[in-house]
Amino acid sequence: MAFRLFSRRSPAAANPAAANPAGGIALRTLLQWHWISSAICLGGMLLFAITGFTLNHASQIEAKPVIHNQQFPLPKAQADRLQLLAESEAPPPKLPQATQTWLAGLCRCQVADAVPEWSAEEVYLPMPRPGGDAWLRVSLAEQLVEYEVTDRGWLAYFNDLHKGRHTGDAWRWFIDAIAIGSVLFCVTGLLILQKHAGNRPSTWPLFGLGLLLPALIALFTIH
């Protein structure tokens, strides 16, 4: 006995857009926004999906920080200039431009955005970065410049990009754009599912399972 695996449907049932021109225009619009949002967000979604996995297993992935420390003599002219600023009633929120240029050439680092912490003995500049850390200390008492960089590797770098840690405004705006694009991708995908659900009986049970499963895990396993 032979069984027919696929039922023959009428052209209208196989193609709802043919029976409903207005619905066809709406479906084409949804498909257009769906693929546009997916194309724009694909790289970002892959990055955040992969780094989400690596963050979830961070304790199982070994990272060996590499520390580079450099020390340089501090010229007396620079020391005198910084000493006057450190002893003033209101030390400036930034280093003088001449000092910034000198330090950038000396240490091969960017100190323009660093906010100095002033004291009578030293000027300390924290310079955190994705995937590591850096700081610069100008010892006025010892007339010494010390610069240290800690590199925790590429994995830590991408994990920090995921969290937006010490990445600056431009990267935070990028995260916002990817979030908005991902929401658009999901909403248009849901509406496309709704359009095709009549021919795919498993659509809503699978959709419901996707909503119910994380809710049950959170409810019964997270305390």
Give the mean pLDDT of 43-71: 93
pLDDT: is 5 or 90 the higher one?
A: 90
- Give the span between the Cα atoms of 21 and 82, in whole angstroms: 75
Query: Residue 2: its pLDDT value, please?
Result: 45
Q: At what angle do helices 203-221 and 169-196 cross, to 10 degrees?
A: 130
- Give the span between the Cα atoms of 72 and 142, in whole angstroms: 11
Going by the DSSP 8-state scheme, the letter that residue 61 receives in this structure is S
- Nearest Cα to Cα of residue 103 among 130, 131, 127: 127
Percent of the chain with pLDDT over 90: 74
Per-residue pLDDT reduced to its tens digit, 88-101: 989 999 999 999 99
User: Predicted confidence band at 4 (pLDDT cuts at 50, 70, 90)?
Assistant: very low
Residue 7 scores a pLDDT above 50: no
Per-residue pLDDT reduced to its tens digit, 13-38: 455 555 566 667 888 888 999 999 99
Instruction: Specify the DSSP element, H or E, that contains 192.
Output: helix 169-196
Instruction: Specify the DSSP element, H or E, that contains 4.
Output: none
Query: 50 phi and psi, to 5 degrees?
Result: -70, -45
Going by the DSSP 8-state scheme, the letter that residue 60 receives in this structure is G
- Give the span between the Cα atoms of 39 and 209, in whole angstroms: 27
Residue 11 scores a pLDDT above 60: no
Contact 150, 65 (CB under 8 A): yes
Strand blocks (E) in 74-176: 117-118, 122-126, 132-139, 144-151
Query: Residue 63: its pLDDT value, please?
Result: 81
Structure tokens at 166: 């010490």
User: Predicted confidence band at 87 (pLDDT cuts at 50, 70, 90)?
Assistant: very high
Per-residue pLDDT reduced to its tens digit, 129-163: 999 999 999 999 999 999 999 999 999 999 999 99
Contact 140, 122 (CB under 8 A): yes
pTM, two decimals, is: 0.78
Domain boundaries, given as residue ranges, for the chain: 30-63+164-187, 67-152
Torsion of CA 189, 192, 194, 199, to 10 degrees: -120
Task: Specify which residues 111 forms β-bridges with.
Answer: none
